Amino acid sequence: MSRAATTMEKSKLPETTAMKDFLALIKIGIVNSNLMTVFTGLWLAVVFSDLRFLSELDTIFYTLIGSSMIIAGSASLNNYIDRDIDPLMERTKSRPTVTGKIGYSKVLVMSLAFIVIGSAFLFLTTFAAGLIGLIGVFSYVVLYSMWSKRRHVSNTVVGSISGAVPPLIGWAAVDPNLHTVAWMLFLLMFIWQPPHFYALAMRRCEEYRAAGIPMLPVVKGFAVTKRHIILWVAALLPIPFFMTSLGTAFVVLATALNIGWLFIGLSGYRTKDDLKWAKRMFIYSLQYLTILFVAMVIFTVI
């Protein structure tokens, strides 16, 4: 490539700061959303163990810092692993590992350091929390990023394991003897992810196809993907009834949200505009998760 062409390519890169590049590298949106579920698991464990929140501030600090670091480290390690395919996708081509604003060796060292230090913080709470954290790292980095993502159409389901781990970390940091509600949080997060990410994959189908990633819409088409989304959403329906210890109000709210998601999915199922349907389902999934986890905290306060 000529010097002029190289200069032109660089001029097309978005203007960023070092902080913006760092936050993009660690996928700050994913860190924040996962911390919400970590905190909810931690909060509920405090409530169910009849502990005082303020008396557990050291545990809370270690858990939130440790969780954020292992999530950030895993996310940046994922960017390192995907540096060859990220330039092929619109939503990932501006990552600092693609633009070259952060060197590969620095990303690798920082990622591993974050995971090690974050794990140490978690082990300061309980052994169970540290172990669950490492299981989450392994499932995301090895099982998803390095193995299934580029090989199997089931990659989304495999990736859902790591996304379901955070509330278990939060709970285990307070109470290693995981309550039934803790496992329901895990199951809720595990089931929520396929319809959420399948909807995103429908919207980004051609990008995934160009990158050679065998996402469900790429391999099986939109019709099959829509059926899978509906089935996964329907699988959420029983979950609230195993969480009755959070109160009737929560069960009613969660059930209403589940029925609402299923209704939106079924009502637009025969629409000719599949991408519009996918966008609606994707947005609802984000609102669903936020409302549900915030409600868990609120309903155990009042």
Nearest to 227 by CA among 274, 259, 184: 274
Q: Same domain for 106 and 172?
A: yes
- C-alpha 75/C-alpha 53 separation (Å) is 30
Q: What is the mean pLDDT of the chain?
A: 92
138, two tokens: 């392994």
What is the per-residue pLDDT for 13?
58
Q: What is the pLDDT of residues 258-270, one digit of tens each?
A: 999 999 999 877 7
Is residue 33 one of the residues assigned to a domain? yes
Nearest to 215 by CA among 273, 278, 280, 258: 278
Q: Same domain for 172 and 192?
A: no
Q: Same domain for 162 and 120?
A: yes
Q: Same domain for 50 and 103?
A: yes
Is pLDDT of 166 > 70?
yes
Mean pLDDT within 235-241? 97
CATH number, residue 34:
1.10.357.140
16: left (phi over 0), alpha (psi -120 to 50) or beta: beta
What is the per-residue pLDDT for 12?
59
Q: Is 27:80 a contact under the CB 8 Å cutoff?
A: no
Query: Which amino acid is located at 183 in the chain?
Result: W
Domain count, the chain: 2
- What counts of helices (H) and strands (E) characterise the chain? 15, 0
- C-alpha 182/C-alpha 186 separation (Å) is 6
Q: Same domain for 77 and 219?
A: no
Is pLDDT of 169 > 70?
yes
Q: Same domain for 172 and 30?
A: yes
Domain of residue 75, residue span: 18-178
Q: Same domain for 232 and 115?
A: no
Q: Same domain for 285 and 205?
A: yes
What is the per-residue pLDDT for 2?
41
Q: What is the pLDDT of residues 31-40, one digit of tens each?
A: 999 999 999 9
What is the per-residue pLDDT for 90?
81
What is the reported pTM? 0.92
